[in-house]
Amino acid sequence: MACGEIHTCATAWSCLLPNMRPGVGSQMSCLGIAGWRLPDCRRPKLKDSCWSMSTRTQSLHTAGIVSWQVSQIILLLANMKIIGVFKPKNEEPYGHLNPKWTKWLQKLCCPCCFGRDCLVLNQGYLSEAGASLVDQKLELNIVPRTKVVYLASETFNYSAIDRVKSRGKRLALEKVPKVGQRFNRIGLPPKVGSFQLFVEGYKDADYWLRRFEAEPLPENTNRQLLLQFERLVVLDYIIRNTDRGNDNWLIKYDCPLDSAGTRDTDWVVVKEPIIKLAAIDNGLAFPLKHPDSWRAYPFYWAWLPQAKIPFSQEIKDLILPKISDPNFVKDLEEDLYELFKKDPGFDRGQFHKQIAVMRGQILNLTQALKDGKSPLHLVQMPPVIVETARSHQRSASESYTQSFQSRKPFFSWW
């Protein structure tokens, strides 16, 4: 894996990394992140509603992650500690700088079989950030904090023109400083993408689920797993995640032993195991319609034993008061709109279709929680679309129309 120096131009880092604080005015003072100190820097003029920064760091590096579909870059500190994963927009499967030659070949030779027609093209980074937003609004706390940021690094995949321009500007700055100082930016242009904080101590859910089959969990720990699993179900269902297998959500299982007393005693105090879930890889969510062509993109957790157990009272108390409140749902829609509209290719009509699908998912989830259904019964409910009704007369409140999707995908299991 190639490592390289990185230049950051990050949006809302103060929310993403708790140790960072924005400076006053147009300058920012030194910032500390786990021992990483940043030099003073000036904020560039970026078209963004949040504060931004542009700085050259001395101890932050990048390295690529092997992925069959999306280009991912991990961010490393000088001590090689991973702090997060960055997914650039223009290196997504539909991005013009995607480095995966297999995706390029598939797009070139089989365009009819490429991508998912139910998703908005090249919007995976917004889907990642949107899933984190929904997670925070619902207080599920299973998605690692994710924001839209701007980053630049030599190890990113750039066009030859951008690299030549960058080298030319650096050469001009070295040879003719007066000319070089007139450039608005020295170096490679920043890439927009999603940045997700790295979670430590987690493994693929598939690993732990197989382990738990052979070694059943204690009753209290199994209860913790079930409650965390229900939160994953709620998140995936609301955002209609089309890519949720058992290999892209994580489980952290800590079973600590604490010795009590001296060496001459054989007593050991066993602490209760702690189990947590992390929902990652949310870049293929927020569809503009329910899958209705070849594939159904099912939730693979629906085949787990936990999916057959009715929703607990704890998840009902946490979720129902929120999603039953029209004002809460409206605020959620507005927050997603503020996030999604930052994309240069934002289309209001497509966004309304995405929200219509989400409203239908919320409607089904509300009914399932009230009726005491299980996650398995939830995914078997007919897909619903709730659209804003068009009216020629002005009214203080909006009205909605509900419709069911009659067309089903060819493969219901894939």
Max CA distance (Å), the chain = 84
pLDDT in tens, 314-363: 999 999 999 999 999 999 999 999 999 999 889 999 999 999 999 999 99
- Helix or strand holding residue 239 (H, E): helix 219-239
pLDDT of amino acid 225 = 95
State how far the alpha carbon of 349 is from the alpha carbons of 178, 330, 394, in Å.
48, 17, 20
State how far the alpha carbon of 215 is from the alpha carbons of 163, 210, 218, 273, in Å.
54, 9, 9, 14
Q: From CA 75, how far away is CA 82, in angstroms rounded?
A: 6
pLDDT of amino acid 148 = 93
Starting at the edge strand found earlier in the chain, the sheet holding 203-204 runs: 203-204, 249-254, 274-279
Q: Write down the domain spans for the chain.
A: 4-115+145-197, 203-404
Residue 116 tokens, joined: 């998912």
- Per this entry, what is the length of the chain? 414
Cβ distance 70 to 283 under 8 Å? yes
Please report, in angstroms and rounded to a whole number, the separation of the first and last CA atoms in the chain: 33
pLDDT of amino acid 155 = 77
pLDDT of amino acid 226 = 96
Q: From CA 179, how far away is CA 170, in angstroms rounded?
A: 11
> How crowded is residue 84: how many other Cβ atoms within 10 Å of its Cβ?
21
pLDDT of amino acid 355 = 96
pLDDT of amino acid 290 = 87
Q: From CA 227, how far away is CA 221, in angstroms rounded?
A: 10
The vertex-318 CA angle with 221 and 135, nearest 5°, equals 85
List of the chain residues with pLDDT < 70: 1-72, 74-79, 94-115, 179-180, 256-270, 390-397, 410, 412-414
pLDDT of amino acid 54 = 34
pLDDT of amino acid 291 = 85
> How crowded is residue 331: how many other Cβ atoms within 10 Å of its Cβ?
13
With CA atoms as reference, report the closest residue to 121 among 96, 144, 147, 157.
96
pLDDT of amino acid 46 = 29
Cβ distance 170 to 178 under 8 Å? no
pLDDT of amino acid 308 = 96
Cβ distance 93 to 74 under 8 Å? no
Reported pTM: 0.78
- In order, the DSSP letters of 31-96 are EEETTEEE--EE----S-SS-B--EEEEEEEEEEE--SSS-EEEEE-TT--EEEEEEEGGGSTTST
